[in-house]
Amino acid sequence: MGPRTLDQKAEALQQLNADTHAMDLAETRDWLESLEDLLHSRGHQRVREILSELQIHAQKRGVALPVTSRTPYVNTLLAERQPPYPGNRELERRIKSIIRWNAMAMVVKANRESPGIGGHISSYSSCATLYEVGFNHFFRGPDHPCGGDLVFFQGHASPGVYSRAYVEGRLTDEQLHNFRRDLAATGGITSYPHPWLMPDFLQFPTGSMGLGPIMAIYQARFIRYLDDRGLRPYHGQKVWAFLGDGETDEPESLGAITLASRERLDNLIFVVNCNLQRLDGPVRGNGSIVQELEAVFRGAGWNVIKVLWGSDWDELLARDEDGRLARRMGEVVDGEYQKYAVEGGAYIRRHFWEADPKLAGMVRHMSDDQLWRMNLGGHDPGKVYAAYKAAVECIGQPTVILARTIKGYGLGEAGEGKNITHQQKKLNEEEMLHFRNRFRIPLNDDEVKQTPFYRPAPDSPEIAYVHDRRRLLGGYLPQRRTAAPDLPMPDDTLWDEFGAGSGQRAVSTTMAFVRVLTKLLKDKQLGRHIVPIVPDEARTFGMEALFRQCGIYSHVGQLYEPVDADQLMYYKEARDGQILEEGINEAGAMSSYIAAGTAYANQGVYTIPFFIYYSMFGFQRVGDLMWASADLRCRGFLIGGTAGRTTLNGEGLQHQDGHSHLLLLPIPTVQAYDPAFAYEIAVIVREGLRRMYVQKEDIFYYLTVGNENYIQAAMPAGVEEGILKGLYLFRPGRREGARLGGDTPPRLLGSGSILNEVLAAQQLLGERYGIPADVYSVTSYKQLHRDAVDAERHNLLHPDEPLQVPYVNQCLPSDGRVVVAASDYMKALPLLLGRWFGPAFVALGTDGLGRSDTRPALRDFFEVDARHIVLATLVAMARQNQVPADLPGKAIRDLDINPDKHNPWYV
Ligand SMILES: Cc1ncc(C[n+]2csc(CCOP(=O)(O)OP(=O)(O)O)c2C)c(N)n1
Ligand SMILES: [Mg+2]
């Protein structure tokens, strides 16, 4: 008989559920016991194999398994396997406290004396242990037999780095006192790491977030490249990148992590300081940044080590047999964790532990204060040491350490864990006393008011320990050294062919450049130091012959037979390949360029990068990396291919670069050129090699090259200096037989392939109007502009001395002759020199969004073709009364120009 009432039915159902539940539990227990047996008898590897088999089987039977690359919210490394700590914990704690004090004092003092000068206290406060364990036990200095590690410190944690150097005796009181006062008479130390401002000290500028991580990845890969190519043997040097959890929001931070795992870069270690906060507030208030990053990195194939809980938690976690505590840890969102740091023990008990009576029971014996003080993994040297040790011992994978910390650790009321903490720059007296007490700094109350820097006596155990540790590890860090063996320059004959011109053959400047590069690569001595870098554009630039000649770098060689193996120019990958083919990835390619261009400082060897890319996707796309390369004192050649808004014709729109020469203007170290002919390229590259690798100037070169084929002229005599300075007379107009303007021949200026339009205009002016015009090639507006403003500045500051005449006016005196400049870049580029070109000056350029069409149509549209150059010349001459006033009007009809045509500036 079945149950009759509703109550009875419910009761029966409950009983059934209870039975099923009990069965489930028993079954789960059985499985777990089997697993335990297996683990015991056969070990980890066998357990992994069985689980993998089970997974495959379940999948075959159609059981959808959740795909997850997250593990529970606990430490990755087991407490019972934690290695013993090799250092003196008590001494290290005292040293770290002193470093914390000075880092804080540096910022507080600076802001007391110069309100608004800025600086950061809370970031270093959170990562002090992460740095100190590294300094005491891991970071190898430059004298280590394995070569010094390269450490990318978080830019705004620099007070901590300075403070350690102060304790080491490498920085003075005075320098600390002048933190963020670069211009102080007695010398200061700079806000963010900067190799120009502290050239013997700082290696990597990390002030712009996201660039450190991506540069670190390519740096680690470049170390492999140098080894594989026999340029510098690898002895275990590591690249450490410290970054903030907020910093991982930047696409550059995570955008290249798959390269690191694909290339098995076990010489790379990321340490993400997961203090759960960025500038404004929580990084993932409603989620978990640690879990998110774990999934991302694990999915990308990295070795992920979570360092979340300090040893205070070990015992509780060991008692957590049913995984309740771990589950609870994983439930709490970051915004709530942040609140625990601020609110204290009673709050933690109520909101964390009492969410589950069994958990509440686990900590009943503990006081609120004890609950609050339970340390996090990133503040526990034992946990951090274990993670670093596992990271440096990891083989075949890069490692990321996700370490939980508290932002503003130790600041107490002044900002520990608070949303305002990032901006905290001042501490009042009470807060300072609290800091002193918390870190037991041996200063009395009166001294604290003065906030002195504190360094124990040279013979103190602390100072002895600091020096001992660094001695064992191979010297102090950070440190920047620039000793590299000199490079042999190619024989002068290498350049000869470029002066001869191309005869009857139409050739583009891109082809000419590739020829220069090919010859350099073949040079017996210099060739191997050259690093060609392309972001999937080698064929675009006609460089495919280099694939075979030099090989494409691949650490594993070529594991397949390429489809074009039977052809001469097949796609050859090789372990000693020279070309870095970075894929469609300008940011990565630029990071490789930086690694190669700074190898003289970071690897003790000169390598010469030639990074060739679509010019549109350079300064515009990865401009901040280009700025960073200047900060880094990087040397090398950037080659902007398919340049010029009308020279790259059909491609149109987002590909057409009419402004890269403007975008680079702010970068002081770039020498920029828009060459028209092969010989100009040869002269510029040759000089670049000389200045960067013989004279050792920390500059770099940018050359735009075009894909328009035309006859490459032979080099006129004596123009080298002009090419380098930015301007020279290429073809004077024929004065004899002139009908107009014979006394005041106009000057026509052209650059890149637009020089051909200028030459055509010269011819038209002569043939149709009897006007002799002189044609100048402007190879660089930037060089001319800098020279002119330098002269102007000199004249301003030295009013009693004879006037310096800028180079542009030495060539083109302001004598009333008309100057018309035509460029394939925006008018603003020639207009830079407007003041020096005099009143009769007209700039023609390619302003506006691109269009796809033929070159003649585009040059008409943008008004930079020969006809428009002629018209501009006539108009300017008419204004100067050098030709009849009605001539321009006639010319408009003659030249078939529509005066009411669309203004290309507007779409
Ligand atoms: C590209 C860039 N954008 C913004 C900033 C300004 N900034 C400096 S520190 C910071 C917050 C950093 O947070 P996080 O990375 O979590 O570091 P934490 O200080 O918490 O360790 C911001 C937004 C910058 N330096 N670079
Ligand atoms: Mg942060």
| pLDDT tens digits, 503-557 | 999 999 999 999 999 999 999 999 999 999 999 989 999 999 999 999 999 999 9
Shortest-distance atom of ligand 1 to CA 208: 26
pLDDT of 4 over the 70 cut: no
**Is the N-terminal amide bond of 193 cis, ω within 30° of 0?**
no
pLDDT of 6 over the 90 cut: no
Q: DSSP assignment of 217-264, as one string?
A: HHHHHHHHHHHHTTSS---S--EEEEEETGGGGSHHHHHTHHHHHHTT
Shortest-distance atom of ligand 1 to CA 275: 20
Q: Give, to the nearest 10 degrees, the angle between helix 89-113 and helix 429-438.
A: 170
Distance of CA 247 to the CA centre of its chain: 13
Six token digits for residue 510: 């891109």
Q: Is the CB of 177 under 6 A from ligand 1?
A: no
Report the percent of the chain where pLDDT is more than 70: 100
Ligand number nearest to the C-alpha of 155: 1
Spatial CB neighbours of 29, under 8 Å, sequence gap ≥ 6: none
Q: Is the CB of 156 under 6 A from ligand 1?
A: yes
Average pLDDT rounded to a whole number, residues 571-592: 97
For residues 343 and 805, what is the distance between their CA atoms, to the nearest angstrom?
69
Work out whether the CA dihedral 885, 887, 889, 892 comes out positive or negative: negative
Q: DSSP assignment of 865-880, as one string?
A: SHHHHHHHHHHHHHHT
**Ligand 2 centroid from CA 281, angstroms:** 9
Q: Is the CB of 277 under 6 A from ligand 1?
A: yes
Q: Is the CB of 499 under 6 A from ligand 1?
A: no
**Ligand 1 centroid from CA 154, angstroms:** 9
pLDDT value for 18: 85
Ligand number nearest to the C-alpha of 125: 1
pLDDT of 21 over the 60 cut: yes
Average pLDDT rounded to a whole number, residues 834-841: 93
Contact call for residues 127 and 470 (beta carbons, < 8 A):
no
Q: Exposed, middle or buried by CB within 10 Å (0-12, 13-18, 19+), for 486?
A: exposed
pLDDT value for 3: 52
CB atoms < 10 A from the CB of 661, how many? 30
pLDDT tens digits, one per residue of 752-803: 999 999 999 999 999 999 999 999 999 999 999 999 999 999 999 999 999 9
Nearest alpha carbon, ligand 1 atom 16: 246
pLDDT tens digits, one per residue of 153-203: 999 999 999 999 999 999 999 999 999 999 999 889 999 999 999 999 999
Contact call for residues 865 and 843 (beta carbons, < 8 A):
no
Backbone dihedral angles phi then psi of residue 868, each to the nearest 5 degrees: -70, -30
Q: Exposed, middle or buried by CB within 10 Å (0-12, 13-18, 19+), for 725?
A: middle
Shortest-distance atom of ligand 1 to CA 279: 11
Backbone dihedral angles phi then psi of residue 727, each to the nearest 5 degrees: -160, 135
Q: Is the CB of 268 under 6 A from ligand 1?
A: no
Look-up of token digits 């959808």:
64
Best of 130, 153, 156 to mutate for ligand 1, by most ligand atoms within 8 A of CB? Answer: 156
Shortest-distance atom of ligand 1 to CA 407: 20
pLDDT value for 63: 85
pLDDT of 1 over the 60 cut: no
Backbone dihedral angles phi then psi of residue 574, each to the nearest 5 degrees: -155, 150
pLDDT of 66 over the 80 cut: no
Q: Is the CB of 407 under 6 A from ligand 1?
A: yes
**Ligand 1 centroid from CA 277, angstroms:** 10
Which conformational region is residue 783 in: left (phi greater than 0), alpha (psi within -120 to 50 degrees), or beta?
alpha
Q: Is the CB of 334 under 6 A from ligand 1?
A: no
Q: Is the CB of 623 under 6 A from ligand 1?
A: no
Six token digits for residue 726: 């930015």
For residues 704 and 697, what is the distance between their CA atoms, to the nearest angstrom?
21
Q: Is the CB of 247 under 6 A from ligand 1?
A: yes
Contact call for residues 305 and 402 (beta carbons, < 8 A):
yes
pLDDT value for 61: 85
Distance of CA 530 to the CA centre of its chain: 21
pLDDT value for 452: 96
pLDDT value for 51: 85
Ligand number nearest to the C-alpha of 127: 1
**Ligand 2 centroid from CA 248, angstroms:** 9
pLDDT tens digits, one per residue of 689-725: 999 999 999 999 999 999 999 999 999 999 999 999 9
pLDDT of 67 over the 80 cut: no
Nearest alpha carbon, ligand 1 atom 17: 244
pLDDT value for 142: 96
Shortest-distance atom of ligand 1 to CA 247: 15
Average pLDDT rounded to a whole number, residues 93-97: 98
Q: Return the exposure string of 428-454: e unless at least 16 CB atoms fall within 10 Å of the residue's CB, then b.
A: eeebbebbbeebebebeeeebeebebb
In which band, very low, low, confident or very high, does the pLDDT at 8 lie, cut at 50, 70 and 90? Answer: confident
Six token digits for residue 193: 């790491």
Average pLDDT rounded to a whole number, residues 361-389: 97
Q: The pTM is what?
A: 0.94
pLDDT tens digits, one per residue of 601-612: 999 999 999 999
Contact call for residues 307 and 270 (beta carbons, < 8 A):
no
Residue 752's nearest CA partner among 708, 786, 701, 811 is 708
For residues 854 and 834, what is the distance between their CA atoms, to the nearest angstrom?
30
Spatial CB neighbours of 607, under 8 Å, sequence gap ≥ 6: 226, 231, 529, 530, 531, 596, 597, 599, 600
What element of type H or E holds 540?
none
pLDDT tens digits, one per residue of 794-830: 999 999 999 999 999 999 999 999 999 999 999 999 9
Q: Is the CB of 208 under 6 A from ligand 1?
A: yes
pLDDT value for 717: 97
Shortest-distance atom of ligand 1 to CA 273: 21
**Ligand 2 centroid from CA 730, angstroms:** 58
Average pLDDT rounded to a whole number, residues 59-67: 79
**Ligand 2 centroid from CA 126, angstroms:** 9
pLDDT value for 291: 98
pLDDT of 5 over the 80 cut: no
CB atoms < 10 A from the CB of 579, how many? 24
Shortest-distance atom of ligand 1 to CA 210: 1
Spatial CB neighbours of 102, under 8 Å, sequence gap ≥ 6: 159, 162, 163, 166, 167, 176, 453, 454, 455
Q: Is the CB of 706 under 6 A from ligand 1?
A: no
pLDDT tens digits, one per residue of 718-745: 999 999 999 999 999 999 989 999 999 9
Nearest alpha carbon, ligand 1 atom 12: 278
Shortest-distance atom of ligand 1 to CA 207: 25
Q: Is the CB of 141 under 6 A from ligand 1?
A: no
pLDDT value for 450: 93
Shortest-distance atom of ligand 1 to CA 283: 16
Shortest-distance atom of ligand 1 to CA 156: 9
**Ligand 1 centroid from CA 169, angstroms:** 29
Tell me how far apart the terminal alpha carbons of the chain are, to the nearest angstrom: 85
Q: Is the CB of 252 under 6 A from ligand 1?
A: no
Q: Is the CB of 349 under 6 A from ligand 1?
A: no
Task: Calculate the average pLDDT of the chain.
Answer: 95
Q: Is the CB of 421 under 6 A from ligand 1?
A: no
pLDDT of 596 over the 90 cut: yes
